[in-house]
């Protein structure tokens, strides 16, 4: 009996560190999460509203979100400067420009709450911005709870993540008619859910991960890459979540199967939402890939068109955007060849036959990540014709990204992502749960950033830098993970050195 009891105690002592690096008392966890929530929300709100309200110019993109609710910036607006006041209008109809997004229900709630309080049919986007700040704060709090280890082991990474997520280049999206802010909020929650699932292996964290992945993948069509990024991170982190763990309430019995089910279900959901989007947006992207990018860079546009099975006369649109004022999408000759132009198979076959042409595009998209805070989307109100003005508020992520050299044959940011992948895979296999959690995060964020930058080319070079904003956000979080890991290694090295020096000094 004594032998059996000692063996059980030994198993528990071996398993407990692997399951979470030691659980904090409930009061400490609750207090820490409350502090993280309060600080994050306050920082984001200060970025948006201290010393004047800032946001992001509509630029015509906001209509896909607000028009179905019967809102618009204003009939006389040029949408070149930030305007937070939306007025009531006739709801837009028709399936061609239908845009499904998980962010719209939150807008509906904010609009309902605004009308309930003010009695007006107008809407101040600041209401939605406050809601977004609260969701970011809750995401940061969930991230704190998900991490393993003591409070002291959690604070540095949480603090750096909050600094990255509250960059003015990202939070201005909260006060706008875009849907990108849902991607920022969703990715932070995905990080919390995935780490919580790997570390704690319980049903609540499985639910958090599933909801966060589904929300992110359906916030915007391009964000569907969150699903394979999560799958890759969970696969690489398999040694961590497969190790024996101490018995825990709400533990998921067949964790691997549950993870597979979450990935498959969220992937199917995201794909079905993507397929249901109005053809107008998708067709515009395909037009831009062909004319604004492929033919604009071509030495012989007519020959490329013939290879694609299109008339050479269409080379007149080489270098043209689908969104320019004369509406090239309405050209009858374009419609006559819609079956070829408006299908991704056309371009997949072309790039498969000419991989060198595709490889010429990718470095430009990677380099554009550092410029994702574009200078033509104003953050402050202005008069028609005024130069776009950006808010001069803390922007640590884009400051760091601006330090990366440009114009290298291989974009310098690729080496940052390579480091994230290499260290992430190595850390994810560690027996130390604190280190393993950082590894899973690094793999997740690297995979998402790279996939987002490649997918940004689905609209060609049209607003390429702006379309890389999610790659920039993921890279900002990755920088936080790598920096915290570097600090942790440095502190550990100093401690070891002191422990080595002290006995030597005593011996003298």
In a domain? residue 87: yes
Same-domain pairing of 386 and 460: yes
Tokens 């001069």 appear where? 392
pLDDT band at 506 (very low <50, low <70, confident <90, very high): low
Residues 190 and 64 in one domain: yes
Kindly state whether residues 252 and 283 are assigned to the same domain.
Answer: no
- Choosing from 312, 337, 353, the residue where a domain stops is 353
State the Cα–Cα distance between residues 272 and 267, nearest whole angstrom. 9
Alpha carbon dihedral 243, 246, 251, 256, in 10-degree steps, equals 10
Rounded distance, CA 371 to CA 157, Å? 25
Indicate whether 73 and 43 sit together in one domain: yes
- Tell me whether residue 368 is in a domain: no
Average pLDDT over residues 179-205: 96
Percent of the chain at pLDDT > 90 equals 60
Residue finishing a domain among 353, 368, 389: 353
Overall pTM surpassing 0.85 (yes/no): yes
Looking at the structure, tell me whether residues 138 and 220 fall in a common domain: yes
Beta bridge partners of 123: 86
With respect to residue 187, please indicate whether it lies within any of the assigned structural domains. Answer: yes
Residues 471, 453: contact at Cβ < 8 Å? yes
* Per-residue pLDDT at 226 exceeds 90: yes
Helix ranges restricted to H, 456-468: 464-467
Give pLDDT, residue 1. Answer: 40
**Statement to judge: residues 131 and 49 lie in one domain:** yes
Residues 146 and 67 in one domain: yes
Same domain, 200 and 123: yes
Q: Is residue 218 part of a domain?
A: yes
224 lies in the same domain as 291: no
Residue 373 covered by a domain: no
Residue 435: which region, alpha, beta or left (left: phi > 0; alpha: psi -120 to 50)? alpha
Whether residue 4 lies inside any domain: the answer is no
285 and 210, same structural domain? Answer: no
Contact (CB, 8 A) for 436 and 238: no
Q: Quick one: 288 and 236 in the same domain?
A: no
> Rounded to whole angstroms, how far apart are CA atoms 334 and 305?
12
Give the pLDDT confidence of 136-145 residue by residue, as tens digits: 999 999 999 9
Cβ atoms < 10 Å from Cβ of 291 = 26
Lowest mean pLDDT among 83-87, 380-384, 492-496, 504-508: 504-508
Residue range 46-71, pLDDT digits in tens: 999 998 999 998 877 777 788 888 88
User: Are 182 and 106 contained in the same domain?
Assistant: yes
Specify the pLDDT at position 214: 98
Q: Structural domain tally of the chain?
A: 2
The distance from CA 450 to its chain's CA centroid, rounded to whole angstroms, is: 11
Q: Is the Cβ–Cβ distance between 182 and 134 less than 8 Å?
A: no
Average pLDDT over residues 247-257: 87
d(CA 490, CA 67): 52
Distances (CA, A) of 18 to 12, 257, 492, 499: 10, 20, 20, 26
Q: Which of 19-23, 170-174, 336-340 reaches the highest mean pLDDT?
A: 170-174
Nearest C-alpha neighbor of 411 from the set 449, 466, 459: 449
Question: Residue 124, SS3?
Answer: strand
Q: Which of 281-285, 287-291, 359-363, 443-447 has the lowest mean pLDDT?
A: 281-285
Domain, as residue range, for 288: 279-353
What is the helix (H) or strand (E) element at residue 88, kind and residue range?
A: strand 85-88
| In a domain? residue 369 | no
Tens digits of residue pLDDT in 6-30: 434 444 433 444 344 457 888 999 9
Helix axes 126-146, 180-200, angle to 10 degrees: 20
Asked, for residue 294, whether it belongs to a domain, the answer is: yes
């Amino acid at each position: 009996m004594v032998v059996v009891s000692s063996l059980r105690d030994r198993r528990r002592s071996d398993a407990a560190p692997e399951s979470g690096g030691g659980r904090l008392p409930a009061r400490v966890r609750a207090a820490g999460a409350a502090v993280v929530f309060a600080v994050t929300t306050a920082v984001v709100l200060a970025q948006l509203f201290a010393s004047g309200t800032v946001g992001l110019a509509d630029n015509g993109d906001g209509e896909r979100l607000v028009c179905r609710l019967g809102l618009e910036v204003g009939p006389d607006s040029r949408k070149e400067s930030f305007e937070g006041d939306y007025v009531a209008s006739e709801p837009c109809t028709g399936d061609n420009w239908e845009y499904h997004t998980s962010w719209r229900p939150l807008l509906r709630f904010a609009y309902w709450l605004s009308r309930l309080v003010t009695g007006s049919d107008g809407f101040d986007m600041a209401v939605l911005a406050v809601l977004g700040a609260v969701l970011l704060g809750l995401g940061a709090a969930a991230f704190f709870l998900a991490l393993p280890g003591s409070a002291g082991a959690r604070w540095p990474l949480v603090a750096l993540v909050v600094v990255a997520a509250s960059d003015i280049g990202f939070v201005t999206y909260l006060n706008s008619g875009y849907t990108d802010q849902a991607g920022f909020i969703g990715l932070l929650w995905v990080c919390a859910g995935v780490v919580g699932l790997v570390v704690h292996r319980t049903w609540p964290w499985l639910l958090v991960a599933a909801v966060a992945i589904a929300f992110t993948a359906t916030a915007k069509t391009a964000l569907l890459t969150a699903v394979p990024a999560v799958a890759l991170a969970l696969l690489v982190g398999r040694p961590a979540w497969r190790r024996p763990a101490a018995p825990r309430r709400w533990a998921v019995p067949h964790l691997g199967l549950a993870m597979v089910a979450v990935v498959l279900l969220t992937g199917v959901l995201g794909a079905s939402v993507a397929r249901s989007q109005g053809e107008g947006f998708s067709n515009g992207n395909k037009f831009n890939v062909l004319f604004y990018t492929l033919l604009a860079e071509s030495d012989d546009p007519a020959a490329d068109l013939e290879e694609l099975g299109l008339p050479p006369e269409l080379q007149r649109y080489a270098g043209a955007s689908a969104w320019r004022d004369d509406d090239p999408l309405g050209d009858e000759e374009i419609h006559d060849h819609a079956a070829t132009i408006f299908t991704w198979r056309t371009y997949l076959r072309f790039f498969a036959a000419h991989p060198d042409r595709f490889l010429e595009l990718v470095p430009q998209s990677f380099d554009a990540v550092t410029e994702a805070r574009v200078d033509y989307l104003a953050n402050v109100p202005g008069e028609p014709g005024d130069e776009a003005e950006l808010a001069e508020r803390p922007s640590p992520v884009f400051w760091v990204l601006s330090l990366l050299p440009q114009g290298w044959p291989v974009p310098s940011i690729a080496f940052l992502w390579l480091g994230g992948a290499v260290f992430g895979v190595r850390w994810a296999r560690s027996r130390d749960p604190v280190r393993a959690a950082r590894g899973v995060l690094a793999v997740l964020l690297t995979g998402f950033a790279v996939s987002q930058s490649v997918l940004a080319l689905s609209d060609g070079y049209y607003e390429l830098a702006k379309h890389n904003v999610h790659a920039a956000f993921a890279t900002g979080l990755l920088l936080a993970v790598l920096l915290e890991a570097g600090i942790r290694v440095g502190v550990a090295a100093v401690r070891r050195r002191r422990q080595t020096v002290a006995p030597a000094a005593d011996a003298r």
